[in-house]
Amino acid sequence: MNPREGSLVIQRCRACGTLLAPLIATCSACHGVDLESVSSSGIGSIVSSKVMHRERYGTQDDPVSRTIAIVALDDGPWVYSWIAGNVPTHSGQPARVEFKPSAMVERLPLFSVQTYQGP
C-alpha cells in the first residue's frame, strides 16, 4: 500500500500488524523489523501538551510560543507533534486534533485543534 501524498504516514509491522509511530525501527509488540509505511487517519486526541517559548535566533523579537504535544491517534500509536492554535484546558473533553497535510515542523507533524462533535 502506498501512503496517500499529504497524509500522516505511520508504520505497520508486517509480522503482527501492530501500528506504530513514524520513524520507529522495531515493532514494540513482536520486536520485528519488517515494517511498512501506511497512511493514518490523522485524527486523534491530545494526551499531554506543553507551551514552549523559544527565542528567535539572531533577533531581538519577542519569543515565539509553540505547543508541543503527544497525540494518541485513533489508529492506535501515539506521536509527538506540534499543535497549531490554542489547546483548550479544563473542557471535560479530550482535545481532538487533525493532521495538517504536508505540514511538518522540525520533523514533527503539525495538528490543528478541532471542535468537539458530541453524540
Q: Which of 97, 103, 51 is nearest to 78 (CA)?
A: 97
Residues facing residue 20 across a β-bridge: 11
Per the structure, how many domains does the chain have? 2
- What are the pLDDT digits (tens) for 23-56? 899 999 999 999 999 999 999 999 989 988 876 6
- What are the pLDDT digits (tens) for 4-21? 567 889 999 999 999 999
* Between residues 118 and 50, the one the model is more confident about: 50
Q: Do 58 and 70 fall within a single domain?
A: yes
Q: Do 47 and 30 fall within a single domain?
A: no
| Total-model pTM | 0.78
Residue in this structure with the C-alpha cell 517559548, named with its chain if needed: 53
pLDDT above 60: residue 105? no
The beta strand positions in the chain, using DSSP E, are 9-13, 19-20, 35-39, 43-54, 64-73, 78-84, 96-105, 108-114
Q: Do 21 and 56 fall within a single domain?
A: no
The range of the structural domain enclosing residue 96 comes to: 43-114
pLDDT above 90: residue 77? yes
pLDDT of residue 88: 77
Q: Do 22 and 79 fall within a single domain?
A: no
Q: Do 32 and 51 fall within a single domain?
A: no
**What CATH number did the domain enclosing 68 receive?**
2.40.50
102 occurs within a structural domain = yes
Q: Do 64 and 26 fall within a single domain?
A: no
